[in-house]
Amino acid sequence: MLILNRKELEELLPMEEVLDVLAMGFREAKEGKCVVPVRFHLNVEEYQGQFLFMPALLSGLKQSGTKIVSVFPQNISKGKPTIYATYLLNDPVTGELLALMEGATLTGIRTGGASGLATRYLARKDSKILGIIGTGFQSFFQFRAIQVVRPIEEVWAYDLDSQRLESFCKRLSFLVKVYPASSPAEAVRESDILITSTTSKTPVFSGKDLRPGTHINAIGAFRPDMRETDDETILRSKIVVDTFEGCLSEAGDLLIPMSEGKLKRERIHGDLGDLVTGRKEGRHSEEEITLFKSVGFAMEDVVTAHLAYQKAIQQGKGERVEIS
């Protein structure tokens, strides 16, 4: 069995290649060659945390594996990351364990990749200004992926936590012009593309501040009682989801307005697989506001983990251990 750590995954997984394998995975899923049960949530009420169990099998590509993720938002106050994760990659022919990988980096890279892929189809081609609300762990991967698909020249970032905002801006300042916004509204009004990557349960900006033509990637809220976008944003946007199954069981951004009769299921334009396979059109006009809502899809993990594994074997990276 091969063990791949955070640094090795970063080296093995350039975002361009991740976008390619994700596109391939979304095509396989559309063709029904992907088995991904809705993930199992195990709540840890006393610490406001959750474990998520995410298995996936891609029969055509002969890939399978499981991610075990913990999401503990209170960890910030302990100086620890919100998310810890481990990925177990198995051979679907024999069942044997091929690799164990650090799953938080894998998650960051594949979540960025999914936003990048959606942005390729949904953002205006001339998008240059990126807004980011929530500058935690995911945000840097989101930036990297958007940069691959659009020529980003400026970033406007906002976070409730001024220290996190400052360190994010410092990290980005070596790569691009970056401005700390004094409010979410300031970041939103500047943006061609907006990312929300927060742990908030309530909307993090007002849809009234969106300029026509903006594309939004809302990646944060992952439970029916959590949302980052308000009704105005939902009602003004063409909505694309990572998967219908996941978003219609977990995404409060959609489920809350649906339960209040403000959003109908038919108003959701399609899923990312529809865009990648050309079954549905992406952006239609320069003025349209588009929204990609993701909650995560275990297919994304397995194709990304498999890419890392193959490249690690080719390049002789990782640590080999025997546990049986």
Ligand X SMILES: NC(=O)c1ccc[n+]([C@@H]2O[C@H](COP(=O)([O-])OP(=O)(O)OC[C@H]3O[C@@H](n4cnc5c(N)ncnc54)[C@H](O)[C@@H]3O)[C@@H](O)[C@H]2O)c1
Which positions lie near ligand X, rule CB under 6 A? Answer: 71, 76, 82-83, 107, 111, 133-138, 158-161, 164, 197-200, 204, 219-220, 222, 294-296
CB atoms within 10 A of CB 234: 24
Residues 26, 30, 36, 38, CA torsion sign: positive
Two tokens, residue 314: 């080719």
Residue number of the CB closest to ligand X reads 136
Smallest gap from residue 29 Cβ to ligand X (A): 15
Coil vs helix vs strand at 3: strand
Dihedral pair phi/psi, residue 205, rounded to 5°? -155, 170
Hey, which bits of the chain come out as E strands? 2-4, 34-35, 40-44, 49-58, 63-71, 83-90, 97-102, 129-133, 154-158, 177-180, 193-196, 215-218, 237-241, 268-271, 289-293, 319-320
Q: Which is nearer to ligand X, 2 or 239 (CB)?
A: 239
Smallest gap from residue 184 Cβ to ligand X (A): 6
Task: Kindly give, in sequence order, each residue whose CB lies less than 8 Å from that of residue 108, ignoring residues fewer than 6 positions away.
Answer: 137, 138, 140, 141
Q: Which is nearer to ligand X, 81 or 213 (CB)?
A: 81
Q: Which is nearer to ligand X, 66 or 98 (CB)?
A: 66
Q: Which is nearer to ligand X, 2 or 69 (CB)?
A: 69
Smallest gap from residue 175 Cβ to ligand X (A): 18
Smallest gap from residue 95 Cβ to ligand X (A): 27
User: Hey, which residues are catalytic here?
Assistant: 67
